[in-house]
Amino acid sequence: SQNIYILGIESSCDDTSASILLNNKVLSNVVASQKIHEEYGGVVPELASRAHQQNIVPVVHQAIKKAGITKDMLHAIAFTRGPGLMGSLLVGTSFAKSLAFGLNIPLIDVNHMQAHILAHFIDESGFNKPPFPFLAMTISGGHTQIVKVTNYFEMEVIGETLDDAVGEAFDKSGKILGLGYPAGPEIDKRAQLGNPKAFQFTKPKVDGLNFSFSGLKTGILYFIQKEVKANPNFISERLNDICASIQYTIIGILIDKLKLASKHTGINHIAIGGGVSANSGIREALKKGEQKFGWTTYVPKFEYTTDNAAMIAIVGYLKFLEHDFADQNISASARLKI
């Protein structure tokens, strides 16, 4: 069998990333995270595209160097076509097109949401690949979806958020508590020191497999405002308990929907992805699900679960094997669906 080198490029949000794969193995995965958004408490699209433009050439250059190859060894270039921020996507798309044109090699368009799922097929020792069919739950600052995966490119979204993503639920709750952005990791750390049942928050009532987090955020805001009025030191005195209770509520919502999805589809193989899959509570809950509901769960290596180009390159590799290439006139698509 042939040795295929793929360059993957990811620029959908606030991470500029480039990765080289040799078949399904990662040779390099370089990520430049944009710190600039921290002081704004969220991603500023205009600043993101500007930073991508500055980072893209050095990041691709480093990925090629770290992989120990030269660019004329590449077989194809895979890039994120969408979904994401249009200005950010345009940078990666234009760069990938130009380089593929210059090197006279195929261009491969990749759906970012499919890539989060297919990241599970990167060959990595100690990590199992899920067997088809499986359920994939993608949870991050930008996405919350449950997808039924029948084959590499046969996927169906069976549930998704109607408003905020789950990572936003963490980040916006953190903002109410005066924590820095993104607040997910700190809420997680503090949650481990607090009592998850200290405070009760109402779970949203959403039919079927869809999610909603904006009501929860408002509920938390009103609760905190009320408590702070009674005791101005409420947040600092009870921060760990508040974080534990918020996290407990959010994870309860995710697990309830996974249980329902597993019941509806009869599928017990459950793979997760996205930045929130780093959360200690969700990991624990999934482990419990293995004992309680007979699930087998799959969590990829952290590096491949947050936004990264290795996941784009693995999709590139799988599409390369199918000779599924893009035209040079393809355009970025901010609302691309699975």
Catalog residues that contact Zn ion under the rule CB under 5 A: 140, 307
Min separation Cβ 282 and ligand KG4, Å: 8
Q: Which does 184 bind (CB under 5 to 8 A by kind): Zn ion, ligand KG4, none?
A: ligand KG4
Min separation Cβ 112 and Zn ion, Å: 6
Applying CB under 6 A, among 17, 29, 279, 297 the residue interacting with ligand KG4 is 279
Applying CB under 6 A, among 167, 194, 300, 316 the residue interacting with ligand KG4 is 167
Does the footprint of ligand KG4 cover residue 142 (CB under 6 A)? Answer: yes
Which one, of 213, 233, 123, 205, lies nearest residue 168 by Cα? 213
Q: How many residues does the chain have?
A: 338
CA distances from 65 to 26, 91, 134, 157 (A): 13, 21, 36, 38
Min separation Cβ 291 and Zn ion, Å: 30
Does the footprint of ligand KG4 cover residue 275 (CB under 6 A)? Answer: yes
**Complex with ligand KG4: residue 183 or 285, whichever CB lies closer:** 183
| Contact of 275 with 306, CB cutoff 8 Å | yes
DSSP string covering 103-142: HT--EEEEEHHHHHHHGGGS--TT-PPPPSSEEEEEESSS
Which one, of 94, 116, 53, lies nearest residue 331 by Cα? 94
**Complex with Zn ion: residue 28 or 140, whichever CB lies closer:** 140
The residue written with tokens 């060894």 in the block is 73
Does the footprint of ligand KG4 cover residue 224 (CB under 6 A)? Answer: no
- Adjacent-strand bridge partners of 211: 161
Q: Footprint of ligand KG4 on this chain (CB under 6 A)?
A: 13, 140-142, 167, 170-171, 182-185, 188, 274-276, 278-279, 306-307
